[in-house]
């Protein structure tokens, strides 16, 4: 009687489907918010109930921590580029005690109704925000590319780019880059680069100096992120 699997229940002839995202307490598939509001209306302390549910979730995560840490070290991944979205199935008994039924490692992202679209799209947004994925602004990136090209044409002091006339000079951008580079000589990013080269000598041994020099320019943040994610 406690079976709550939607993929099975939706095939029942008596199943009433939700038709709008705004009406999330109609039919046989409610939002969690609507369900909690209903429990509050019948006098249940939701703060206490949620604290018990959180306790179950946290203890479940602790049970798997050693296994997850071992696999992270085995695969050499960084903590910020490895994540999993879990779906917890929790049942509440008559004493308001939560019991863990199972943990889904691949919760369904399919959307069969407007309510599904509203809930699951927000879930995906929250997941990406927690992971730290940055929104890509294509228009801003295009403008930046144009600026960089213009700097390449007119940023050199005493030197005409691409004309091949032999006029020599020191690039203002390069000079600034060298100054920045001296300021970050013992910084964390240089240590990350050296560590990366030591762990992967065949791939990065010849790239240490170019990467360090680039750290003094506008690419410093990109290199820092790449090293961290690696």
Return the residue matching tokens 């005493």: 158
What does the pLDDT read at residue 63? 92
Q: What are the tokens at 111?
A: 């959307």
Torsion sign, CA atoms 105, 50, 58, 92: negative
Contact 7, 17 (CB under 8 A): no
CA atoms within 13 A on the CB side of 93: 7
Return the residue matching tokens 């992971």: 131
Helix (H, G, I), strand (E, B) or coil at 25: coil
Give the range with max mean pLDDT: 90-94, 129-133, 196-200, 224-228: 90-94
Q: What are the tokens at 109?
A: 């992202």
At 220, is the pLDDT very low, low, confident or very high (cuts 50, 70, 90)? low
Q: How far apart are CA 219 and CA 227, in angstroms?
A: 12
Contact 94, 49 (CB under 8 A): no
- For residue range 125-184, what is the model confidence (pLDDT) as tens digits? 999 888 888 777 888 888 877 777 767 655 554 444 443 333 333 333 333 444 343 344
- Residue 101 — φ and ψ, nearest 5°? -85, -50
Q: How far is CA 97 from CA 43, 46, 50, in A?
A: 16, 12, 10
Model confidence, pTM: 0.55
Q: How far apart are CA 172 and CA 175, in angstroms?
A: 5
């Amino acid at each position: 009687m406690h079976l709550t699997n939607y993929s099975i229940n939706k095939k029942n002839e008596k199943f009433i489907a939700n038709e709008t995202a705004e009406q999330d307490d109609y039919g046989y598939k409610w939002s969690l918010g609507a369900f909690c509001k209903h429990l509050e209306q019948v006098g249940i302390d939701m703060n206490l109930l949620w604290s018990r549910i959180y306790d179950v979730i946290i203890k479940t995560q602790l049970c798997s921590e050693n296994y997850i840490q071992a696999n992270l070290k085995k695969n050499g991944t960084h903590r910020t580029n490895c994540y999993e979205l879990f779906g917890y199935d929790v049942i509440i008994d008559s004493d308001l005690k939560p019991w863990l039924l199972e943990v889904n490692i691949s919760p369904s992202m399919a959307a069969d109704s407007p309510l599904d679209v509203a809930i699951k799209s927000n879930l995906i947004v929250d997941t990406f925000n927690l992971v730290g994925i940055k929104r890509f602004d294509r228009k801003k990136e295009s403008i930046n590319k144009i600026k960089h090209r213009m700097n390449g044409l007119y940023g050199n002091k005493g030197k005409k780019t691409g004309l091949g006339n032999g006029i020599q000079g020191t690039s203002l951008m390069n000079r600034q880059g060298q100054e920045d580079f001296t300021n970050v000589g013992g910084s964390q990013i240089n240590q990350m680069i050296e560590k990366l080269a030591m762990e992967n000598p065949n791939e990065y041994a010849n790239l240490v100096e170019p990467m360090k020099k680039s750290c003094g320019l506008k690419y410093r943040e990109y290199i820092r992120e790449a090293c961290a994610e690696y």
